[in-house]
Amino acid sequence: MSDTPRRKSPLARWAMLAFFLFNIVLFSSLGIWQVQRLAWKKELVARIASRTQAAPVPAPLTPTEWAALTADNAEYRHITLEGQLLRDQEVAVYTNTALGAGYWAMAPLLVGAAQPSDGPQQPAQAIVWINRGFVPSALRQYAQRPEAPSAQVRITGLLRLPDKPHLFLRENVPQEERWYRRVPAEFSAARPLPAAGASSLPTAPYFVHAHTATTEAANAEWPRAGLPLATLRNNHLSYALTWFTLALMNVAALVFLLLAGRRQAQPAQARQQQA
């Protein structure tokens, strides 16, 4: 029976060695990944700051322009556009802001192929959804606010791509008027919007986070436009330090295991030499 522990001991040591080596590789890889994410996040923050502070440019209003839009070249672009804002076709999207829980007032804007600064507006050729701003739950419905059904407006804001689904963001339920994600195509499908002849107007694959609208009522408290964008969290450095610390702890445990194994082997070698 005394031989049994000695036969199991080497196997147990090898298992522990493999365990610590696996942890070292895993935690080091996660730390390196977080360092890479840190560099990416810094570049993203700098790009967003550059775009939001730039002078506004005309919004892309044609399918040809839309096809070229990507998160890298378009997200947070400072744009301007004008058209007929259909306030009575709003979609209320649930949100939580510094003002508390409430809704984004999303309204469709009918835009023409050209947008003259003066003179008559061109016939509508596309729909761009506008995030007019935040409204409290008590004013969720358009009819609860003293606003005209529609108005000709010029809007300046940031180009935003549709919200992507993730674990903490629920799916929209259009048939029940429960909206959680800002997805322009789904908004247009749920509202009786004007058509161009027999076909519906194309919907831009982005929405505009408005911070000014020239003909909105100056004394209107809601919707509250121009709220700051959600701050991008940059915790990647702390995450990287956590993973690297865990890797170092496993290195220390591995060294301890190797030294302990060497100390155990030395008496055995001495006994063999004496025999």
pLDDT tens column, 177-187: 999 999 999 99
Q: Please report the pLDDT score of residue 230 as a whole number.
A: 56
> Which residues in the chain come in under a pLDDT of 70?
1-9, 113-124, 196-199, 212-220, 227-232, 261, 263-275
Q: Please report the pLDDT score of residue 11 as a whole number.
A: 79
What pTM does this model have? Answer: 0.68
Q: Please report the pLDDT score of residue 24 as a whole number.
A: 95
What pLDDT, in 10s, does the model give residues 220-235?
678 887 766 655 677 8
Mean pLDDT for the chain overall: 82
Q: Please report the pLDDT score of residue 221 as a whole number.
A: 72
Q: Please report the pLDDT score of residue 5 as a whole number.
A: 45
Q: Please report the pLDDT score of residue 206 as a whole number.
A: 96
Note whether 105 and 133 are within 8 A (CB). yes
CA distance 132 to 108: 10
Q: b vs e for 93-123, b when ≥16 Cβ sit within 10 Å of the residue's Cβ? A: bbbeeeeeebbbbbbbbbbbeebeeeeeeee
CA distance 193 to 88: 11
**Domain locations in the chain?**
18-44+237-274, 56-213
CA distance 106 to 52: 20
Tokens of 149: 């059904």
